[in-house]
Chain A
Amino acid sequence: MSSRGGKQKKGNVTSEQEEEEQPLQAVLVADSFNRRFFPISKDQPRALLPLGNVAMIDYTLEFLTSTGVQETFVFCCWMSNKIKDHLLKSKWCRPTSPNVVHIITSDLYRSLGDVLRDVDAKNLVRNDFILVYGDVVSNIDVSQALQEHRHRRKVDKNISVMTMVFKESSPGHKSRCEEDDVIVAMDSKSKRFSMGTDEFEIRHDLLDCHISICSPQVAELFTDNFDYQTRNDFVRGILVNEEILGNQIHLYVTQDGYGARVSNLQMYDSVSSDMVRRWVYPLTPEANFTDQQGQGCTHSRHNVYRGAEVSLGHGSQMEENVLIGRDTSIGANCHISNSVIGNNCTIGDNVVLDRAHMWNNVHISSNVEIHQSVVCDGAVVKEAVHLNKQCVLAYNVVIGPNLSLPDGTVVSMHHPEEEEEDDDDEFLSDDQEVGHSKDKTRQKAFNPAEVGPEGKGYIWKASMNDTEDEELAQCLWGLVLNPDPESDSESEASEESQDRTFQLEVLGTLQRGLEENIVCDNLVLEINSLKYAYNITLKEVMQILTRVVLEYPFQQQGTQLTTLQYTGSLLPLLKTWSPVFKNYIKRAQDHLDCLSAVEELFLEQDTHQTAMVKVLMKMYQLEILEEEAILKWFSTGATNDKSRQLRKNQGKQRMSLQRKESEEDESSEEGE
């Protein structure tokens, strides 16, 4: 790029250089294809929401223009008219604009994929282009990334299809979006997304700026694969198929510069405060880069910006990081900090504003307190209203007087049920056509308990009929993710559950065997195959089998069984399944294992301990267990106090029974 001019003079214009001569293009997607800003975005598309009193799309266009983009395609879907009107009025559509903006609208776009397929169909891009959303605020100089991208494409013909721009920022930084928490595996040398080479790096300190430099193939790849809906689908698809298709994705990491996507209100809050704190320099509030009449303001220390004709009452303080739009009047004894106030607002006396985002034409009466909340255009807050954290007052809502809204309250003029009716077309966009159901809305009365005696508006709740993945989308302020529990025994847990599922399977098998009268040999076969499926050792099989059989009466008839009922139902079962047992209990060790499993179970079921003798007796009679094994088990030291006690209780009775049955005096003497 740098040598472009010199080479041209030499008349050495190759075709590649000619390509570079073509204007840099950008695709700006001015639709979010989700509902994160509902209900605010019911009245205004997200791209036009004001951030620092300037519509977000203006920041994106300014960013593109400053990086040298000469042709921008703005794709809008819903509320395209509003976006179009806004753009036509703005400086971008003046004849002097260095960046030619084409507005392409269609109601059919449902995702980023649709937009890029349309780009391909209309054959709009001829060269590498920048793909960006209409809600990205950035001052990153991507020309370096662009150069690297072009270089890579020159070296390896068309292998690299995309270069994503990332900004370094440690986990926990407030401009990191919790939902967009990326972990990247990259090759540090080639800056490529990869794993599996000898050395790679796993990074969690990168922030996805949602700015990507794409080759023209990207549009084609989207056309080829209709599964690609979002950029994430695309990246994943490319990485998974890297070996087959040979396409690679690279990344560009910048240390300085600012880049963030306003993807929820949490991000709105942090980007807005970063803006006021001048992190996005040169895009600052007083710069008036949109070049509109009356937008200018003055910047004084502690980052206090005042628009034209701002009047401030006696004793009011603008502490720090405050931006006040033109023609706004503020009463006496107000405390304002870390807030943005739009144009034509009126604020009464004794008002406290902290981290408040007030848009245009807002009326705040006296004695109001607002913390970390968004108040949209035309809203009216009556006297002595207290807005707690993360409240949202959507367009034209009236609140109060004398009311305190709890944390996270969202008030809108749209009734929540309205949305459900609109849902019929399954059109999941922010920018959804609102049915002209105003009459209907009017009929529903406002609830004074919710919005105050003179209030207008409905409490907006997450609609209940949404599917589970929409659960995320309903929270305006973004997620509060709980940190993952730091457990040491992840693997153990999974093994445990394997045993558990195996146990359930065995239970199912036996149950079926009983119901359908299956031959025991077949049961053994089934259990054997389960053993392999769950990778269970023979010893465990036996223990689990014993357990399942002994618990079977409880399973079937509940745990309230008396000991007599229990033995009554268990003993026939043992008889039926004795071939199964015999198949697994062969060696002397098996006998002992089986016995210990029996013991363990009766230790848990301590009310039925007396049944143990009978069970052992039956097992002995059925020749499942050998006498020597039982005696050996009895004589070996008990593992803990409880089992010792159990054995003691059982021992005498068992021995006497044993004696009667076995008629072998010497063996019983051994036992004593």
Chain B
Amino acid sequence: MTREDKEKGLWRSIFPINFKTYNTYHSEGHTGQYYMLPPAHIQKLFPYGLPPRFQLQIKTFNEGCVMVRPPALELISYLKRADYSKPPLRYVLYGDIGTGKTMSLCHALHYCYTQGWLIVHIPDAHLWVKNCKELLPSSSRPSRFDQPIQASQWLKNFKITNERFLSKVQLDRYVWTKRESTEKGQPLGELIDQGVNRMKSSSDVVGAVLRELRLQAGGATEGEGAFKLAVAVDGVNALWGKTSLKKEDRTMCEPEELTLIHNLRKMMKNNWSGGAILTALSQTGSVFKPRSAYLPNELLGEEGFDSMEPFVPVSVSNYNEKEFESCYLYYLDRNWLQHPHSRSEEGKKELIFLCNKNPSILERLCAAL
């Protein structure tokens, strides 16, 4: 179904979802056009993954439409061409605030999902380094700290996203306490259930899950049990920055001392094979970073940069003319712009001036109109 805007002569199309659409409809010529994410996928894949304002927009418009933009296209093309017998490539999306890094990340992740990969998605790593209500000393290692609430929540989301894989992945033996242990050969689903039920050891369960996936991704045998792993972390600079958490003796907690962060850092290394690591930097939630910092070196810091490289940096910038037009027409089409002046040429120029074609600012402006 396509709707033409006869005055402007620009296309704004909504495509029905089809697994083949990624190949046919996601080429260079389709930048600026809107791609509809099927509701079933959104529910499964992104229980908490999408930016909060976009979730509101989905509710309002009753559909989730993502604009096809060059950064996402670039990522998808890399993913298509990469060789999965080699160590995973790390992609870092960077850009100024509000330019669409998280959206591009989600878009690329959706592509992975449609290709049948196993998704490990951490929607915002910053949530794990600040505002944690409970910080328990780790059950397995004395010097580390657990975050049971965050860990169990993540496990729940993981379960929803990757239901198909839960019975397929087989595990090693893990001992949790004197009485509980997971035997060798049990499926992943059981491990996750245990982690959700037993909050105390949930962070360790997360660690175990990640380790298993790492070892088994891109597995040696084809067919049953072989899967590709997509690790997507938003706000990856939280892993190497500072935390705002305090230990019991009122000293600051280092990210290294948190079990979740420690395990995630291990995941970021490229000593496994059969997948890809997609990350996005984020200044918005970061702790103790200046607002103007957006380049990888500034946000990741020395340590982070050394750990992440060699990576492929992908730049995300504000809308260009065509994309802005497309977004504007989409809002018009959805009757989102109620103010009569916004439909005129002058109103459009005002909008351009006010938001400087920054996606998030444009969205907030239009919400008020």
Do A and B pair up? The answer is no
